[in-house]
Amino acid sequence: MPVLSDPEPPRMSPPERLYQRNDQTAGAPYPLSEYIRRFLWEFVQSSLIRWSPKRAHGWRRFWLRMFGARLTGTSFTKASTTVRHPWLLEMGEWSTLAEDVEIYNLGWIRIGSHTTVSQRAWLCAGTHDYTKIDLPLIRPSIVVGDGVWVCAGAFIGPGVTVGHNAIVGACAVVMRDVPEAAIVAGNPAKVVRERPRPEQK
């Protein structure tokens, strides 16, 4: 039987006006020194960190601190955790970034104490101003409080604050602040209930 090819999709007529012009965006929004620092960090992360043993937490903390991260002695990351700019990362005591977490910190990301960011979560502290035709880069910070659990696959967007003791459900998309001790879920994330207060040991 002859193989039938799919028909080409219809062509759209050009709009009267473009709302964004990619040829007008900044090709290099950072100074040269920043690109050099990023290149060195990417080399370290893709080699010395990516291939480190599972429990080599101190080794990974050493290199993150060497590039400016503010970490306590009980801050934990995994070999597959990706941190874009360690000099814009702060983590409190007993906090963990799990496997394949993406810390896309074009702006500051501050994570409190006793907070867990689970596998494949994405914290995105960077975007573009879509109200301007040249889409300038903007870098709003993200703040995650103490005792927070960000579940697997969740996305936290630019400028968001997650209150203390909150839970961000798996695969949730968080684009607004999360109240303290709230459990949020869904896309867009909404408060589903309050986190129960645990019994004290």
Closest CA relative to residue 107, chosen from 121, 86, 126: 126
* Of 57, 85, 128, 164, catalytic: 128
DSSP secondary structure, the chain, as one string: -PPPPPPPPPPPPPPSS-S--GGGS-S--S-HHHHHHHHHHHHHIIIIITTS-TT-HHHHHHHHHHTT-EE-TT-EE-TT-EES-GGGEEE-TT-EE-TT-EEE-SS-EEE-TT-EE-TT-EEE--EE-TTSTT--EE---EEE-TT-EE-TT-EE-TT-EE-TT-EE-TT-EE-S-B-TTEEEETTTTEEEEEPPPPPP-
Catalytic: 114? Answer: no
Closest CA relative to residue 111, chosen from 147, 138, 73: 147
Handedness of CA 8, 9, 10, 14 (dihedral sign): negative
**Positions marked catalytic:** 128
